[in-house]
């Protein structure tokens, strides 16, 4: 079902290119309406297998890449990817303590942790979960790559070790504290990666509840845009 809809989308996309080339505006409008309906159908579909989750998120990832020169389209498709991540990774599942003291997502019968990690790693955004002690509970591959580290390098580490103490005290901690009190936070800043390239960053913080509903951390989703791309 999912693969058939994706193939149908590709056929319509090719037809749209042909209609635009021949300047057939009426046909362009008809095909575009069908494409938008198909995209909405692909987003609303709830799949269950690991392969289908990967294909569904990957579909919206490709849409974002194809429309990389249109900021509104990129935002729309990355928002769709984020929503899919939240759909397949239950943020209300709560955490349980491990023997080493770290908090981890509980494993249910039939649960495959690689599915959740795969969903998170498909996102263009950097994603992290920070506990009330300001230590990393989770870090996706995109965030680790930005710091030129492995995701496992972050688990249990204090946030200040990754972003330096000054930035932690003046920028991250005050907002995390608000998030720990129940607020959803969004703010923008500029940062250079390890190679010196500058980026505009939007950071969204969402409270992360435990099994009993109390807040035990914050989910951070960081969307990045190259400042070079913005100027050009």
Which tops the pLDDT comparison, 85 or 202?
A: 202
Answer yes or no: is 26 within a domain: no
Mean pLDDT to the nearest integer, 138-163: 88
Query: Average pLDDT of the chain?
Result: 79
**Cα 171 to Cα 201: distance, rounded to the nearest angstrom:** 13
pLDDT band at 61 (very low <50, low <70, confident <90, very high): confident
pLDDT band at 102 (very low <50, low <70, confident <90, very high): very low
pLDDT band at 160 (very low <50, low <70, confident <90, very high): very high
Answer yes or no: is 69 within a domain: no
> Tens digit of pLDDT for each residue in 192-232?
876 777 888 899 999 887 767 788 889 899 988 876 544 44
Answer yes or no: is 200 within a domain: yes
**Cα 50 to Cα 198: distance, rounded to the nearest angstrom:** 35
Number of domains the chain is built from: 1
**Cα 164 to Cα 168: distance, rounded to the nearest angstrom:** 6
**E strands within 124-197?**
126-131, 136-139, 185-192
Answer yes or no: is 141 within a domain: yes
Largest CA distance in the chain: 66
* Structural contact between residues 2 and 53, judged by C-beta atoms closer than 8 angstroms: no
Answer yes or no: is 7 within a domain: no
Q: Is the pLDDT of residue 96 over 80?
A: no
**Cα 132 to Cα 208: distance, rounded to the nearest angstrom:** 10
Answer yes or no: is 25 within a domain: no
Ranking 2-6, 33-37, 44-48, 174-178 by mean pLDDT, the lowest is 44-48
Which CATH number covers residue 151? 3.30.450.20
Q: Is the pLDDT of residue 87 over 50?
A: yes
User: Which domain, by its residues, includes 223?
Assistant: 124-231
Answer yes or no: is 68 within a domain: no
Answer yes or no: is 107 within a domain: no
> Tens digit of pLDDT for each residue in 125-146?
888 889 899 998 888 888 988 8
Rank 88-92, 99-103, 223-227 by mean pLDDT and report only the highest: 223-227
Rg, C-alpha atoms of the chain? 20
């Amino acid at each position: 079902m999912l693969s058939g809809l994706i193939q149908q989308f590709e056929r319509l996309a090719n037809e749209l290119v042909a209609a635009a080339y021949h300047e057939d505006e009426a046909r362009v409008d008809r095909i575009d309406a069908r494409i938008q309906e198909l995209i909405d159908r692909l987003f609303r579909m709830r799949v269950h297998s690991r392969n289908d989750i990967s294909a569904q998120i990957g579909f919206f990832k490709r849409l974002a890449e194809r429309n990389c020169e249109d900021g509104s389209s990129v935002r729309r498709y990355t928002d769709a990817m984020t929503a899919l991540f939240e759909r397949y990774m239950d943020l209300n599942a709560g955490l349980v303590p491990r023997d080493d003291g770290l908090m981890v997502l509980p494993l249910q019968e039939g649960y495959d942790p690689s599915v959740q990690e795969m969903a998170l790693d498909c996102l263009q955004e950097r994603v992290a979960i920070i506990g009330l002690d300001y230590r990393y509970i989770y870090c996706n591959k995109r965030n680790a790559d930005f710091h030129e580290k492995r995701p496992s390098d972050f688990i249990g580490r204090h946030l200040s070790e990754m972003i330096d103490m000054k930035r932690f005290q003046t920028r991250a901690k005050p907002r995390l504290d608000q998030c720990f009190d129940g607020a959803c936070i969004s703010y923008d800043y500029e940062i250079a990666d390890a190679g010196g390239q500058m980026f505009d960053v939007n950071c969204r913080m969402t409270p992360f509840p435990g099994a009993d509903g109390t807040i035990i951390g914050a989910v951070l989703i960081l969307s990045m845009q190259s400042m070079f791309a913005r100027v050009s």
